[in-house]
Amino acid sequence: MKQVRNTQAKTEILNLIMDSEVALSHSDIQKKLGDLCNRVTIYRVLERLENEGSIHRIVNVDGVVNFAKCSGKCSNEQHFHNHVHFNCKKCNSVTCIENAIPEISLPDNFIAEEYNFIISGICPKCSNA
């Protein structure tokens, strides 16, 4: 079994993502961490956390990669994130909507293993502003 290395950077990045209601971009994480670590370290930690099954990546409608906490079903072997992601056009937040799972029907001989389903619109926070 591979040993999991915990560093201060890894702990802080994981805590940021776990405590966030929305998915965070690399830039968001770097701003929140301040001088704790450089951008390359953040990329490495995010990759490690994703490989360990702690976080998953979401590419928003603008092509920006965001990271969110995984549900309890994920592992380093397999992620289960076939749910809807909501991308707000006003504040650019990306939110996992776990209880909305689209039904997809593919032609014969096509096998879906994962998909990234993004809905773009206005989030409740921005619609009430």
Residues in binding site: 88, 91, 123, 126
Closest Cα partner for 65 from 52, 56, 53, 78?
56
Measured CA to CA, the distance from residue 92 to residue 10 in angstroms comes to 25
Decide the pairing of beta strands 117-121 and 84-88: parallel
* Bind-site residues for Zn(2+): 88, 91, 123, 126
Could you tell me which of 114, 123, 103, 102 has the C-alpha nearest to residue 23?
123
